[in-house]
Amino acid sequence: MQKGTIRVQTENIFPIIKKFLYSDHDIFLRELISNAVDATQKLKTLSSIGEAKGELGELRIDIKLDAEKKTITISDRGVGMTAEEVEKYINQVAFSGAEEFVKKYKGQNENNIIGKFGLGFYSAFMVSDKVEIFTKSFREGATAVRWECDGSPEYTIEDTEKADRGTDIVLYINEESKEFLESARVEAVLRRFCRFLPVPIFFEPKAGEEKKEDSPAPAQINNTQPAWTRKPSELTPEDYQNFYKELYPYHEAPLFWIHVNVDYPFNLTGILYFPKIKQSYEIQKDKIQLYSNQVFVTDEVKDIVPEFLMLLHGVIDSPDIPLNVSRSYLQGDPNVKKINNHITKKVADKLEEIFNKDRASFEDKWDSLGLFVKYGMMTDDKFQEKANKFHIFETASSTASEKKFYTLEELRLATETLQKNKDGKLVILYTTDPVQQDAYIKTAEAKGYIVVKLDTMVDAAFLNQMEQKWSDVHFNRVDADIADNLIDKQENTASVLSKDDEGKLKDLFNIQPANLHVTVEVKGLSVEAPPVVATRPEFMRRMKDMAAMQGPM
Ligand code: ADP
Ligand code: MG
């Protein structure tokens, strides 16, 4: 038997890193700035335990774009590196200094550190012909070093002069990536990835030009203390509203929000907002954003967050969300699954809490909440179990000024045995169009039935699904064959017609296809009721509606 070690040829791995590590070239900025943030956070940690001496000075990160020289420079005032450290951390691909630091200083704010894989730095070569590092360690008496590499496995390293502690990374942007020499493009990327990073970041385009006397100071592009990183007890409702505006400037104020704050068994913070949702499905442009330690990961949360939660807005931040690479990777990640379950539970708990504490306000917001709750009930069994307690039906006769709602349980109690069918199921009478079906509603209500509104886009699917989940419930549209579906409590309670009339009318209408059951209302119990209305069975109507929704065959 022979044993061996698989050797990795760097010549082979470089093109792979450059091409395939990240499908999205924008992220080189995220990676290099994350490293600058890490270097800064490390310095703070080392200073707090006395390993770094002296004043730290202003800790900031500067991004400078020089379109003429075709360079982007990322500068930090963090720990810097000695020549040995450059050798160890930069020259060894996939050796993560971040991971090493976290292990060594366990318990000292290790959650601040973003890096993990030891690959991020090399994303610089996706957009650069050449990369230079100028760095000076925080250690007393350290010599500054300059490292240079053109993306081949060869590099040079030498001593150099550098006044300040910290690191400058200079990227010589390659021809294919010249879009990154446009300040608007760079700024857009910075705003996307760095908006909430914990160290102040300044962007200065065209720093290479002669500095004019009155040229404005570079602008800070990030908010280092976004609301979700602060303690809920420190925040006023206004703070939450303002943060929402910061995230979604074009949206109406949210209905309410949940501040998520967990540190066991995983780390998770965030603020989820319930937006105002119109009754129609709008294309959701504003989405939940995923962050990892304040670093933007993605807003493509489909398949990562349960579908119904995608209707929410806000931010979720967890160091356990891998800063990585592709969405399919995130999908399979067990932490992502746990986070999902937790959020679902949180959302359900919050809704239940509002429902119990302030039902009036809950009902008030039902127009927006309803869509979300129903969608959740259809797609997530755990959510549905909880939501049974706070899902409410609005009655058909509700007016804008006077609304009346029932939970399923309340509906059961209110109708007692009156709205039961032969199988003992609760029959929920509903309307899809309170105006058109007004006559039927009035008739049914006159008989003491309760009619509820199921008139939104989601309702046709909702009632079909719920009939399966609530095994003792049957939905029946108010203009369908109520007579057949309700037991005759008293004579003629359920049927609009006397048996006699019904018989006559059936004869009259026997030109109808044999399988189409027809009852006819002749008496016009309410004034507005049309004199003759043919109704068709619930099942038939649903089939037809569904066919209509699918369009012509
Ligand atoms: P990771 O951040 O996942 O550890 P990277 O490839 O991004 O991997 O970086 C490798 C290592 O290089 C870092 O862990 C760190 O030790 C070092 N490094 C990179 N950039 C800087 C910087 N700006 N200041 C100090 N050290 C840095
Ligand atoms: Mg990194």
pLDDT in tens, 333-359: 777 778 888 889 999 999 999 999 999
Query: 51: CA distance to ligand 2 center in Å?
Result: 22
Which of 7-16, 89-98, 524-533 has the highest average model confidence (pLDDT)? 89-98
The residue whose C-alpha atom lies closest to atom 13 belonging to ligand 1 is: 97
| pLDDT at residue 265 tops 90 | no
Q: Rounded to whole angstroms, how far apart are CA atoms 427 and 417?
A: 10
The values of phi and psi at residue 132, to 5°, are -120, 145
Give the mutation target among 17, 32, 38 for probing the ligand 1 site: most ligand atoms within 8 A of CB: 38
| pLDDT at residue 19 tops 50 | yes
pTM of the model: 0.75
| pLDDT at residue 454 tops 90 | yes
Q: Rounded to whole angstroms, how far apart are CA atoms 156 and 169?
A: 15
- Is the ipTM value over 0.90, yes or no? yes
Place of tokens 């002749």: 522
Stretch 25-51: mean pLDDT: 93
SS3 159: strand
The residue whose C-alpha atom lies closest to atom 8 belonging to ligand 1 is: 118
Q: Please name which ligand lies nearest the alpha carbon of 122.
A: 1
Q: What are 90's two structure tokens?
A: 């930069």
Place of tokens 């774009």: 65
DSSP state of 90: I
pLDDT at 23 (0 to 100)? 64
In the chain, the percentage of residues whose pLDDT exceeds 70 is: 75
Quick one: pLDDT band at residue 535, thresholds 50, 70, 90? low
Q: Please name which ligand lies nearest the alpha carbon of 74.
A: 1
Max CA-CA distance within the chain?
108
- Looking at residue 34, its amino acid is S
| pLDDT at residue 516 tops 80 | no
What contacts 69, CB < 8 A, 6 or more positions away? Answer: 208
pLDDT in tens, 50-91: 999 888 999 999 999 999 999 999 999 999 999 999 988 888
pLDDT at 533 (0 to 100)? 46
Give the mutation target among 21, 35, 62 for probing the ligand 1 site: most ligand atoms within 8 A of CB: 35
pLDDT at 123 (0 to 100)? 85
Nearest to 65 by CA among 252, 176, 207, 197: 207
Quick one: pLDDT band at residue 318, thresholds 50, 70, 90? confident
Stretch 238-266: mean pLDDT: 90
Give the residues surrounding ligand 1 with Cβ less than 6 Å away.
31, 35-36, 39, 76, 78-81, 89-90, 96-98, 115-121, 167
Q: Provide the phi-psi class of 151: left if phi over 0, else alpha when psi is between -120 and 50, else beta.
A: left
Residues annotated in the binding site for ATP, as ranges? 31, 35, 76, 81, 96-97, 167, 327
Place of tokens 């943030």: 37
Q: Please name which ligand lies nearest the alpha carbon of 36.
A: 1
Quick one: pLDDT band at residue 372, thresholds 50, 70, 90? confident
For the chain, helix (H) and strand (E) counts, in that order, are 17, 20
Q: Rounded to whole angstroms, how far apart are CA atoms 43 and 59?
A: 9
Query: 16: CA distance to ligand 2 center in Å?
Result: 18
**Among the atoms of ligand 1, which is closest to the Cα of residue 116?**
3
